[in-house]
Amino acid sequence: MRTTAVVVGAGHAGLAMSWWLAARSIDHVVLERGEVANTWRTERWASLTLLTPNWQSRLPGFGYEGGDPDGFRTLPETIAFIERYAKTVSPPLRTHCPVTSVRRSADGYEVVTAQATWHCKAVVLATGAFNVAQLPAVAAALPPGIAQLTTVQYRSPASLEKGGVMVVGAAASGVQIADEIQRSGGSVTLAVGEHVRACRTYRGRDLQWWMDATGLNDERYDQVENLRRARSLASFQLAGYADRRDVDLNALTSLGVKLTGRLAGIQNGKAQFSGSLRNLCELADLKLNRLLNVIDEWAAEHRVRGAVDPPHRPEPTRVDASPPLGLDFGRSGIRTIIWATGFRPDYSWLDLPVLDYKGNIRHDGGVVTEAPGLYVLGLPFLRRRKSSLIDGAGEDARDLSAHLVAYLGAQSTAID
Ligand SMILES: Cc1cc2nc3c(=O)[nH]c(=O)nc-3n(C[C@H](O)[C@H](O)[C@H](O)COP(=O)(O)OP(=O)(O)OC[C@H]3O[C@@H](n4cnc5c(N)ncnc54)[C@H](O)[C@@H]3O)c2cc1C
């Protein structure tokens, strides 16, 4: 089969790319291993709500038109939203079509699926950033009898073994799951590493409103000081609940969640925690305050419509004078560990020498320069701070589709 471009993946990013390719009259096909929005259907817990408000899921040709722009979509609503977007884009889509290999050919690429091999000039990888849960090496040393699962496998408090739960990792997924289990009557210990503290609202506005208005979400990959670090930062400690409550460490300790430092080791049935909890919390407080300073400066410079409360600072994170450095799994009653320690993309099916030693793709703002005609979408800080959010896919797809068109043009000129 021949086409000009193959897009792999029909999440919102692949669909946004299809919209732009169609707008630029590029013949293409979208190949999806499952259904549209497959990741949301198969890899998320039941109660998940988006942490971005409804107005913020803007996609090319598609905005929010409902009556609750400041609300947060539930998981079924998110799936329905992406399905509606697919209907709007109406892409040339093949579902249940896993791509098993992408390799070079004489005049471009071969994209292999069980049904057919596609020959094309360009390939866009829109297969997501969060495919494989990253477990720390200590996971291998867990004593028998302790159930362990990742955030991809977690579904609800009711699906857990009876007994205490240790959540490892305090980014968005970890704090949301800790909040849910503790509120359901569970007993949660949260092992906290480096984290990014956030507040749901500030001065009467949603934090994402400020991130959008100040331009912080639009900050470009070629403007940021330390791109490697920016790309590896944990997600904000945020949740999208109707009561707009915070899920930072103070909110969790008020519920009764016990905090420890980073899980550093497991030996003879005992967990060992690093002693850096206080420092990490101070650092996170400092960074949140810096972000709020930027917001205040921007608010002072610009006319902000509507009432905006005066500046204020959140209470510093409360940390016990001497948080525990060890914990005996047997005595503590902990029966389950949930690893909320991040993800990495899965490119095991990519037969091209474009991965670094960690399995990450080498790219320049989504352009894989070592493989001309190959592009990637949807990764953290790909081209902008918002790149891995639904809201970021449209502009990234616009830029990369323009690059793709220029590449095809240069190729045909070279052949002429
Ligand atoms: C827990 C969690 C919560 C999030 N919350 C928010 C939020 O509140 N707001 C927000 O804006 N963003 C959020 N995100 C980030 C982001 O929007 C999602 O990760 C989103 O799913 C990424 O979209 P995508 O299209 O890039 O990738 P995905 O939605 O993961 O889509 C990739 C598609 O590629 C397919 N695929 C993969 N490999 C192959 C293959 N070999 N062959 C064919 N098809 C393949 C998959 O089946 C999938 O359908 C969240 C992410 C996570 C993990």
Residue nearest to atom 6 of ligand 1 (CA): 50
Q: What is the rounded average pLDDT of the residues 320-327?
A: 91
pLDDT of res. 126: 98
Q: What is the mean pLDDT of residues 77-91?
A: 97
Question: Which of 74-88, 128-142, 241-255 is predicted least confidently?
Answer: 128-142
Q: Is the predicted pLDDT of residue 305 greater than 80, yes or no?
A: no
Out of 32, 79, 125, give the residue to mutate to test ligand 1, the one with the largest number of ligand atoms within 8 Å of its CB.
Answer: 32
Of 342, 390, 375, which is closest to residue 195 (Cα–Cα)?
A: 342
pLDDT at 278: 96
199 lines ligand 1 (CB under 6 A): no
Q: Taking the model in full, what pTM does it have?
A: 0.96
**In this model, does residue 413 exceed pLDDT 80?**
no
pLDDT at 152 over 90: yes
pLDDT tens for each residue of 350-398? 999 999 998 999 999 999 999 999 999 999 999 999 999 999 999 999 9
How far is it, in rounded angstroms, from Cα 410 to Cα 416? 10
Does position 416 have pLDDT exceeding 70, yes or no? no
Does pLDDT of 295 surpass 80? yes
Percent of the chain with pLDDT over 90: 92
Confidence of residue 326 (pLDDT cuts 50, 70, 90): very high
Mean pLDDT for 238-267 is 97
Mean pLDDT value across residues 316-323: 92
pLDDT at 415 over 70: no
Among 146-155, 207-216, 305-314, 359-368, the least confident range:
305-314
8 A C-beta contact, residue 62 and residue 16: no
Q: How far apart are CA 181 and CA 179, in angstroms?
A: 6
Cβ of 82 closer than 6 Å to ligand 1, yes or no, is no
Please tell me if the CB atom of residue 13 comes closer than 6 angstroms to any atom of ligand 1: yes
Average pLDDT over residues 154-182: 97
What is the arithmetic mean of pLDDT over 162-182?
Answer: 97
pLDDT digits (tens, 9 = 90+) for 207-226: 999 999 999 999 999 999 99
The pick from 52, 130, 385 for probing ligand 1's pocket by mutation, whose C-beta has the most ligand atoms within 8 angstroms, reads 130
Residue 414's pLDDT band (cuts 50, 70, 90): low
Question: Does any ligand 1 atom lie closer than 6 A to the CB of residue 387?
Answer: no
